[in-house]
Chain A
Amino acid sequence: MVEQTAWWGTLLLPVVLAVLALAAATFDATLAARSAGGDLRAAAAAPLRSVAGLLVQQRRRTLAADTLLWRGAGIVLLVAAVMAALVTPLGRWAVGDLSVGVVWFNAMEIVAWAAVWLAGWGGNSAFALVGGYRFVAQGLAYELPHMFVLTTVAIGAGSLRVADIVAAQQDLWFVVWMPIAFVVYLVSVLAMAFFRPFDQPVGGDIGGGALAELSGVDRLVFVAGRWVLLVSGAAMAVPLFLGGGSGPLLPDWAWSLVKTAAVLAVLVWAGRRVPTVRMDRFTEVAWMVLIPATLLQALFVSIVVI
């Protein structure tokens, strides 16, 4: 059902991701403005103005920085975020129809671990280093539940290929009989993109954490990578749990976009409602509550499949 696009699909992918990322950033800015009681229309223009501001801002150098690792971190994050969406189908077309699409997605978002740590380490700054290490701790907390959720989906569909997973949801979407997996997946998407409320690695209490020393184009690339990672994660939720492009009336690519936008909106909105979850409290919850929950969900799914 899901087919591979022609070569120009590869060029269209970053554009679609950029548009979705910008839309999510705009939504986030309008939510912030609404609680501040400010002008919503001005807030909607804020992300594009930030891009303009970062383009013209001077880049910084720090003393004894590891420049290759530091400046490369943002590029690595952005590239990995785009590649993570290679296997996500837009309706009926995916850029890459890998036989192990789910594992590929997992591998590409793992690259964020290295990227954020490098951004924290490379700048030779205490606060940035603390931010980088906070993300490693966060990664250890969310990754196992995330992997178990992906395994559960693969068990439910009997295959690691995203096309087969979409095809297996023709009668019933996975979100209906794997609700725990869906919720844990959404939590892990927020954690992998270190987005609110898991934004401790770039938290304001340490001057921006891994972002503390970045400015100008370096900062733009890193922040863009973070938003695109969030979009990639949210976009993957659609074929994994929400039935891909299926739906009445609209064509399947439109449904994919609508569902992705809905998941993004829920993620951005939910993130603002909760204070920043600190890893010294969350790790126990992740290992003692989320892992058993996902394992039980996997057991349930295995029994149903068999």
Chain B
Amino acid sequence: MDLSARLLRLTPPRPLVVGAPGGTAARLAVERAVRERGWQPAMSPAEANILVVAGLAGHTLEACVRQVWNLVPAPRARVDVVGREDVARLLDTALRVLGDVDQQRAEATRPPDADTGHVEAESHHDVTPDEHHGDHGHHGHDMGGMDMPGSVPMADRADDRDGLTLDQLHVPLGPVLPLWPAGLIVHTRLQGDVVQHVTVERLGAGGGSFWRPPGDDGPDVHRAVARWLDSSARLLALAGWTDQSVVAMRLRDEALTGAPAAALRRPLHRWAGRVRRSRTLRWLLAGIGSTPDDPTTPALLAGDALTRLRRWLDSTENALEQPPAPLAVPGMRETQWTMDALPELLAGVELAAARLVVASLDPDLDVLSRHEAHHG
């Protein structure tokens, strides 16, 4: 009908960006394109209408992405961006698909994708197994005779930190989660919103990091600045300060296109000053994710989330002042340490703080080599 077509044309595109391991360049290009077009990124599959996979999705990630795709309501379009060059073209195609009434009507009536494979706990995305778009559960859990709707077992109970016995939910964080490091899956045992126990898993093969290209004689100033700005933007977005996060992303995109240091210095200084001066941010981030104070902790990860954010701000400003200064970009040692330390850092922490902790550590899983899959 004409009304549906017109509403479809008016629909604002809301992309949900999935970062695949090794797809950092694609993710940055997609984020830049989305921001320049004025699209608002989606925070969950329910509000998304374009699913953008940035990078090449391996087997496990593809299964997760297909599950997430089942959760995206029509009108929807899926786009796989592998290289930086065809971002614009692919996003335009997605927009065209979104506006196509007949195709979307077919999408709306199509049954959910049945070949997501055996739904193991590891291959879930950010929502529990209880979620489903259709009305069949293809979860084959055995419950020993209890007749529950959807064949979902009741949650186990366990003691929690206050001495109560509460239900335990197994909620995996990642791999498909906005503002989450690509390729990281953190399997949590959640009681209420307190993370009781965590195991860390890593997806994908290391193919060399975008931020630290191998074979270079040291990181490039612009890349280093962009890395710190990217980490800061994600932390600020998770802390809820969207305006400053978007400014950081703008500066990051400008740094990546190789803008001269002189052009970047003033806006960067202004932004960093505003973030540093914010007493509310200081009050909110103090004490979150304090790393243990012993010599094994890498210097770049010492302190709490606020200290690390301040370190990023200082590094960014200093890098533009004196280019020959040593650029301490986090590398393999920091990421390795993070993967090993996350179970202790996240045990007993509330969910909001847990996400802030991971964002303040911002591990770059691409630096880890191919054969280091970690289960913490």
Contacts and interface: CB of A to CB of B under 8 A. Distances in A.
Interface of A: 31-33, 35-39, 42-43, 46, 48-50, 52-53, 55-64, 124-127, 130, 133-134, 196-197, 199-200, 203-208, 211-216, 219, 272-278, 280-281
Interface residues of B, number: 67
B46 A204 contact: no
B38 A133 contact: no
B126 A127 contact: yes
A203 B36 CA distance: 24
A64 B193 contact: no
Interface string B123-151: 00011101111110100000000001110
Nearest to A46: B12
Contacts, number: 180
A203 B46 contact: no
A223 to B, nearest CB: 10
Contacts of A133: 192-193
Contacts of A206: 351-352, 355
Contacts of B246: 32, 35-36
B74 interface: yes
Contact of A64 (B149, B178, B240): B149
B4 A56 contact: yes
Contacts of A274: 241, 278, 280
A273 B243 contact: yes
B197 interface: no
Nearest to B139: A63
Given A64-B130, A205-B351, A275 B149 contact: no
Contact of B7 (A52, A196, A207): A52
B49 interface: yes
19 contacts: A31-B243, A32-B246, A38-B36, A43-B38, A48-B10, A52-B6, A53-B12, A57-B74, A63-B130, A63-B150, A64-B150, A125-B131, A126-B127, A197-B240, A205-B238, A211-B44, A211-B47, A216-B73, A276-B240
A37 B37 CA distance: 10
B62 to A, nearest CB: 21
Contact of B12 (A33, A50, A63, A215): A50
B177 interface: yes
Contacts of A214: 46
Contacts of B178: 204, 207
Contacts of A277: 240, 280, 284
A63 B280 contact: no
Interface string B220-243: 000000000000000011111111
A38 B38 CA distance: 6
B190 interface: yes
Nearest to A281: B284
Contact of A205 (B74, B127, B134, B355): B355
Given A33-B38, A64-B149, A207-B177, A275 B131 contact: no
Given A43-B38, A64-B148, 16 more contacts: A35-B247, A36-B250, A46-B40, A48-B10, A49-B10, A53-B7, A55-B7, A56-B4, A57-B75, A63-B152, A126-B190, A199-B240, A216-B73, A274-B241, A275-B241, A277-B240
B179 interface: yes
B46 A205 contact: no
Interface centre among B126, B127, B240, B351 (most CB of A within 10 A): B240
B40 to A, nearest CB: 8
Given A61-B133, A197-B240, A205-B351, A211 B46 contact: yes
Interface in B109-127: 126-127
Given A64-B149, A204-B178, A208-B47, A278 B130 contact: no
B316 to A, nearest CB: 18
Contacts of B184: none
Given A62-B131, A205-B355, A196 B240 contact: yes
Contact of A53 (B10, B135, B238): B10
Interface centre among A48, A56, A206, A215 (most CB of B within 10 A): A56
B272 to A, nearest CB: 15
